[in-house]
Each structure stands twice: as C-alpha cells, then as structure tokens.
Amino acid sequence: MTAIETVVDRSVTEALETMMLIRTFEEKSAALRAANLSPNMCTSVGQEASAAGVIKNLREDDLILTNHRSAGHLLARGAEPGRIFAEIMGKSTGYCKGKSGSLHISVKELGVVLTSTIVGGELSLAPGVGLSLSMSKSDAIAVVFFGDGAATEGIFHESLNLAAVWNLPVLYVCENNQWQAYVHRKETMLADHVSEFARAYGVPSKTVDGNDVEVVLDAARNAVDYVRTMRKPYLLETYTYRVRGHMEPDDQAYVDKEELASWKRRDPISLIQSRLQRDGELTQDEIDVMWQRVQQRVEDAAQFALDSPYPGFDEMTTDVYA
C-alpha cells in the first residue's frame, strides 16, 4: 500500500466514525424529544455521508454556513455533542448559551458562521462571507449547505449568480434529500438535479451519490481544490434521502413506503461498513468498538445536557442584537 492510499483509507474510516456519531446523536435527539426531554428538531438520518464527506476535506480556517438540519455538519466539524444537545434544550452550556435552540447555532471557534432556519437564509449570506475572505486575501473558502427546497427559491439563483460574477470562493453544497418539509421534491422541481441550474450561471457543478461516503470524499476534495485555487464558486449536489421525518416527532404518513424502503436499503453507513469489511480494512470487532465508542460519547453528552442549568435572567439581554 502506498503512502497516499494509507491516507485515503484512514480518511474513510474516520468519516465512517463521524457518520456513526451523527446517526447516534440524531437518534438520541429524537428519543429525547419523544420522551419530552427536548424540543422539536430536524434530524439528518440517512444524509450522514454528505456532512462527513464534505467537511473532512475542509481546513480549520474555512467557514461554514448551514441550514435547519445542521447537527451533522456541526458534529463533522468537531463540535461537542453535549454542547449541541444543551443548545437544543436551551441550556446555558450550549454553544449559544441556549439562545439559538437547534435552528440558529453558530460556533465561532469552529468557523460555523450560521445555522439558518429561514430556508435559503444561508444562501443569502454566503456571498458576503466569500467576499470577506477575498478582501482579507485569505485562501480559505466558504462552504454553504442547503436543501433542494432552498434551491427552488429565488435567493439560490441570486446567490449563485453573484458568487459567479464576483469570483467568490464559495462551495455550494446542495443536499438533495428528496423532501422539502412535507412536500416531495418532484412536486416543486421538474429537473432531478439541482446541479443543472448552475450551468446557466457559468458555475461548474456535479451531482454525486450522496449515500456513498467515498464518492462524496472524492468529489468534495476536487470541489474544495477548485474553489480554493480558482477563487470561484462550485456547486456540489449530494443526492441522498431524508430517512426520518421533517421534524421530530413525525409519523411520515405522507411518505411512499416503497421509496423509503428502497433508500433504506442503500443506508450510507451499512454501505461503507460492508465495503471496508469486504476489503479487509476493518473487522466486525473493530466496527463494534467504533459503535460502542460513539454510543458512550452520545450517552455522556445527553446526560451532560440534561444535568446542565438553564441560563439565568441576567443572560436574557446578553449577546442579542437590539
């Protein structure tokens, strides 16, 4: 095995553990919600390969903007699960001292500029973040995660066009998970792929299998290189599926059972686990140890958040814009 192959293999195993962490975190979040210990929130179960595959390719000084389905992006970036749980629960130990809930988390030390619950809000700010990087002569890039629903809004087109015209170092990552809240993508878009829109603005783009983390790692590496060296935007579409409901709790009565089952058969975590086992990269025992490690981490994190205090009244007017 060459040195380069060793690096690639390690990045795949690391990405797998990140995906396990996201899955375990999201399922615990849903369980806490079901037990009325935590408020409503959106999970990214089924989409873990997109978050892990893209974010593993970023540098520490790159900046991230994301949407309401952001826990996976935060965890892939190295956020502490306990501080995310605490934020969702409104506790003082959360990343924004409990003021953001799940829908507005930003983490300055991790370069996470924004979680926007205004669909497309992240797209409206991305060119500005890209412009600030250009003006500071940094070779860092901005990455904006958004959904297929956001791509049907006008702001997506304005954002992409402006980034193209002004040569802004923004990587657009559309997580096309087939759903836009309770509306199927096919009801709002004639095209299957959001990447097709980019051509009209002169922006290179690619759609990849968003459930195959090796494919995402590879495509994101090329996309990040392009944006970093060319100082121009690129659109990467990760074609995937939102396996749980839009927002917990959700009985998914509106979901086609066959479609859901067919995507579950392509579960991104099972896919890479089987491949790594088949190729002799990981044994079942090693996989079990990885699951145990993330499960313990998530249990400890949830307990940390549950045990944390709510902010005091003196916190009510700090860190807020008036």
Site for ligand TPP in 234-263 (CB under 6 A): 242
Q: What, of Mg ion, ligand TPP, none, does residue 260 touch, CB below 5 to 8 Å by kind?
A: none
- Within 141-180, the residues that bind Mg ion by CB under 5 A are 147-149, 177, 179
Kindly identify the residues of this chain, within the stretch 259-318, that bind ligand TPP according to CB under 6 A.
Answer: none
Q: Measuring CA to CA, which residue among 176, 121, 107, 113 is closest to residue 141?
A: 113
Q: Which member of 53, 101, 147, 169 binds ligand TPP (CB under 6 A)? A: 147
Alpha helices (H) in the chain, listed in sequence order: 3-34, 48-55, 71-76, 81-88, 121-135, 154-165, 195-199, 213-230, 257-264, 268-278, 284-307
Closest distance to ligand TPP from the beta carbon of 204 (Å): 22
Per DSSP, the three-state class of 236 is: strand
Cβ(179)–Cβ(246) below 8 Å: yes
Does 180 engage in binding with ligand TPP (CB under 6 A)?
A: yes
Residue 22's φ and ψ, nearest 5 degrees, are -60, -50
Closest residue to ligand TPP: CB criterion: 147
Please choose which of Mg ion, ligand TPP, none residue 87 contacts, taking the beta carbon within 5 to 8 angstroms, the exact cut-off set by kind: none
Residues 91-130 vs Mg ion: string with x where CB under 5 A?
Answer: ----------------------------------------
Nearer to ligand TPP, 198 or 282 (CB): 198
156 or 226, CB closer to ligand TPP?
156
Q: How far apart are CA 258 and CA 255, in angstroms?
A: 9
Tell me which residues in 112-141 interact with ligand TPP (CB under 6 A).
117-119
Specify the 3-state DSSP secondary structure of 41: strand
To the nearest whole angstrom, how small is the minimum distance from the Cβ of residue 115 to Mg ion? 16
Residues listed for the chain: 322
Measured from the CB of residue 147, what is the shortest distance to Mg ion in angstroms? Answer: 4
Applying CB under 6 A, the span of 9-17, 123-131, 176-184, 202-210 interacting with ligand TPP comes to: 176-184
Nearest-approach distance from CB 104 to ligand TPP, in angstroms: 12
Gap between the Cα atoms of 226 and 65, Å rounded: 19
- Going by C-alpha positions, the residue among 317, 322, 276, 278 that lies closest to residue 9 is 276
Query: Can you read off the two tokens belonging to residue 42?
Result: 């959106």
The two counts, helices (H) then strands (E), for the chain are: 11, 8
The least distance separating ligand TPP from the CB of residue 66, rounded to whole angstroms, comes to 10
What are the residues binding Mg ion (CB under 5 A)?
147-149, 177, 179
